[in-house]
Amino acid sequence: MTLLDRLSTGWKAWVALFLITFSAAAPGVFLLPALDRDESRFAQASKQMLEDHDYIRIQYQDELRNKKPAGIHWLQAASTAVFTGPE
């Protein structure tokens, strides 16, 4: 019985496979930004808020988007206004 045969038959092979896979995949997983399915809608609504100067009625394209509190849109709009220049 060779060394490879002995390693592939026991639980140590599964542990080694897990560790190799985890160490190869972990750096990419931890570098991904947090993505939410509504993130693009929040960003677009905040952009429209800045363009229209209407900070009360939140719109996403032509649809009113008052489903969530306005605070997150205000924070995004303020951050955009501070950290980006005029387009």
Asked if the model's pLDDT at residue 50 lies above 60, the reply is yes
The pLDDT tens digits of the residues spanning 10-48 come to: 787 788 889 999 888 887 776 766 577 777 788 888 888
The pTM of the full predicted model, rounded to 2 decimals, is 0.53
Rounded to whole angstroms, how far apart are CA atoms 33 and 31?
A: 6
Rounded to whole angstroms, how far apart are CA atoms 11 and 69?
A: 52
- Domain residues of the chain, as ranges? 1-32, 39-83
